[in-house]
Amino acid sequence: MAGALKESVIAQLADQVESAQREARAIAKLTDQWPDLTVADGYAVQAELRRRYLADGQRLVGWKAGLTSRAKMKQMGVDQPCIGFLTDAMARPESSAISTADLVHPRVECEVAFVTAKDLQGPGCTAEMVLEATDYVLPAVEIIDSRYAAFKFDLASVIADNCSSARFVGGGRARYASELDLRNLGVVMEKNGEIVAVAAAAAVLGHPAEAVAMLVNVLAEQGERLPAGSFVMSGGITEAIPVQPGDSVIARFQELGSVSMRFVQ
Ligand code: 0L1
Ligand code: MG
């Protein structure tokens, strides 16, 4: 997918997003400055960010699908999902203390993560192909953090910001997808001992494997495939809940165990 903007403009926009991410600083959405920014341009900025982070020594460990539920698309005012990349610098251990000092306004959401055993190549990737290529699934919590002021953005801008990727925590019990009814898998999220969200995984495009297939097809538009051994977060099942220092969060997944963490300054 070739962006229409000149490389120098892509680099300039990547500078803005990169410094906002590194300095945990909110900025105006990119389309305030470039109203004609397209989804393809957003992915070009995201690819430039990935190139820079990998050149700096971070390791690509996987991908994420975002904006995968109708409710979330409506909440954020967009009409299609997005994808983002995950590096080792974003991973946090289960039950750990996660600092918010390097985040702008973090929110947590529960997701099913897939680990693949075979390469997946689009276009035309389907949920069935994803399930056939999946080694196992595990529960995960994504900590998203839009670098845009008040979480206000459009699709091109959020894609340029790597789909709000910030931190992620995998844990619980790894299971073969074939042993589970992933569509009806229930999740309960608690914050500070109170239930703050309850949902079933069908909230993610009807089935979380659909979101992974979408991701593979978007990668194909960028001339890329999903290699075997990839970790893929399939999108928020629950709504995203704001967190601050002092909060502790536990996500309980039916059949997959739980994932917990606490937030500190
Ligand atoms: O992972 C997600 O679904 C987040 C995608 C970007 C939208 C947001 O920041 O809420
Ligand atoms: Mg997410």
- The angle at the Cα of 20, spanning 14 to 23, to the nearest 5 degrees, equals 130
pLDDT level of residue 219 (50, 70, 90 thresholds): very high
Pocket of ligand 1 (CB under 6 A): 64, 66-67, 72, 76, 142, 144, 146, 151, 158, 163-164, 235-236, 240
Task: Kindly state the percentage of the chain with pLDDT values over 70.
Answer: 99
pLDDT at 224 over 60: yes
Q: 143 alpha carbon to ligand 1 midpoint, in Å?
A: 9
CATH number of the domain at 7-264, please? 3.90.850.10
Q: 36 alpha carbon to ligand 1 midpoint, in Å?
A: 21
Q: 75 alpha carbon to ligand 1 midpoint, in Å?
A: 10
Position 1 scores a pLDDT of 46
Digit-coded pLDDT (tens) for 58-89 = 999 999 999 998 778 877 788 889 999 999 99
| Closest ligand, as measured to the CA of 82 | 1
| Among protein residues, the one whose CA lies closest to atom 5 of ligand 1 | 66
Digit-coded pLDDT (tens) for 119-178 = 999 999 999 999 999 999 999 999 999 999 999 999 999 999 999 999 999 999 999 999
pLDDT level of residue 2 (50, 70, 90 thresholds): very low
Strand partners, 84: 64
Average pLDDT over all residues of the chain: 95
Q: Report d(CA 141, CA 63) in Å as an integer.
A: 14
Q: Report d(CA 103, CA 135) in Å as an integer.
A: 32
| Closest ligand, as measured to the CA of 241 | 1
Q: 111 alpha carbon to ligand 2 midpoint, in Å?
A: 7
Taking the domains of the chain in order of start, what are their residue ranges?
7-264
